[in-house]
Amino acid sequence: MKTIKLDIKNKKGHNLQAYLELPANENPSHFAIFAHCFSCNSNFNAVKNISRSLSNHGFGVLRFDFTGLGKSEGEFAESHFSANVEDLIAVNTFLSENYKSPVLLVGHSLGGAAVIVAAAKLENIKAVATIGAPATVNHVTHLFSHAIEDVKEKGEVEVKIGGRPFKINEDFVNDFSKTDLPKITKDLRKPILVMHAPFDNVVGIENAHEIYHNAMHPKSFISLDDADHLLSNKIDSIYVGNLIGTWADKYFPAEENNILSTKGEQLVAHLNVLEDNFTTSIQTKKHSFLADEPASIGGDDFAPSPYDFLSASLAACTGMTLKMYAARKNWDLQEVFTYITYSRKNSADLGIAIEKPTLFNHFSKKLKLIGNLDDAQRKRLTEIASKCPVHKTLQSEILIDTELI
């Protein structure tokens, strides 16, 4: 995937720092905006993981820092709820004018409440996904409730939220009671996905129940099992991103993509060395998927390894070849199980008598054929399994040309 750094001016003229995540082919079918949690920022790990997972479903995802947070300009006291919604609208306008109007809003925690309100104001937004969102906007005030009386008395005070100091004032506090989120949710009338962890100890699961109850169909709920509120486990945030992408496929079918940076080629793989460890995005003309390395060699094990894909190619091609052959012969082949193991084996272990011991690339292929087949048919299908195109390719002399572009 590719990440583009952007600066977007909001209603007050402050620059909002933003990042646009693009799919591997750099040609998104649709655009989405991600709104981060209260007092977080766009570089929060969960935000990046969800955005990048969603980009694998063909979305361009813009994540940004709300006013006064991360590297966006302004003071935190200006980052009250109404300002968050205004920032979302400003980002929506920027995307619409410079790329393409977004169709999906995704929000985490208070950002989830903000995307519901923003979606109600923006005609181009066709669907909303919330993660650990509160059912009412003033839910967040418990984080600084101990300072509310001081704010009334002094006008501005410093509070600690999540262990970090922030200055808040009376306008900041009062703004959280101005929005009737339950009514807005009920009137939204757009597809909504509500995602929440049942043991979330920051925003309780009853909030998800209320949002879901208030929303009109089509609406969906997904439990995040044992995830915490901040989705601090990388596996949880990637899971969330993938689920949103799958859910969104129903409403935003992927458009046919043309690979931009490698025109005429069949496939492109992209690895962000600085941020993604070994996790690699792969894009064909119509499909996106990931490759990774196992944890035993330093990977995150989020996807099959390159050799897993090589073995998978051999297994898939074998089954397809047997299906075509059996159909041509009108044989009763009903199912094919192809088991593959790749390894490096010594010539002596393979029973190959050569003067100098040599390591060979070795594939073990085992077949299980289901159907009303006699012994002769099974024997012939076993022979045909060695004639599939990928099998023959792996046994042939292979030439690979590499050039720098």
Establish if 207 belongs to a structural domain: yes
Which two three-digit tokens encode residue 99? 């790329």
Give the C-alpha separation, 47 to 184, whole Å: 25
pLDDT score of 205 more than 60: yes
pLDDT given at position 176: 84
- Same domain assignment for residues 360 and 240: no
Establish if 319 belongs to a structural domain: yes
Which two three-digit tokens encode residue 87? 């920032």
- Same domain assignment for residues 213 and 314: no
> CATH number, domain at 353?
3.30.300.20
pTM of the shown model: 0.70
How many other C-beta atoms lie within 10 A of the C-beta of residue 261?
13
- Same domain assignment for residues 325 and 205: no
- Same domain assignment for residues 195 and 71: yes
Cβ atoms of residues 169 and 109 within 8 Å: no
Establish if 48 belongs to a structural domain: yes
- Same domain assignment for residues 202 and 326: no
Establish if 258 belongs to a structural domain: no
Per-residue pLDDT tens digits for 89-129: 999 999 999 999 999 999 999 999 999 999 999 999 999 99
pLDDT score of 260 more than 50: no
Count CA atoms closer than 13 A to 238's CA, side-chain side.
11
Q: Which residue, among 239, 207, 209, has the nearest Cα to 225 in the 3D structure?
A: 239
**Residue 38's domain spans which residues?**
2-249
pLDDT given at position 162: 58
Give the residue with greater pLDDT, 337 vs 158.
337
Give the residue with greater pLDDT, 186 vs 299.
186
Number of domains in the chain: 2
DSSP state of 232: -
Establish if 30 belongs to a structural domain: yes
pLDDT score of 264 more than 80: no
Q: What's at 278, amino acid-wise?
A: F
How many other C-beta atoms lie within 10 A of the C-beta of residue 351?
6
Give the residue with greater pLDDT, 174 vs 99.
99
φ, ψ for residue 228, nearest 5 deg: -95, 175
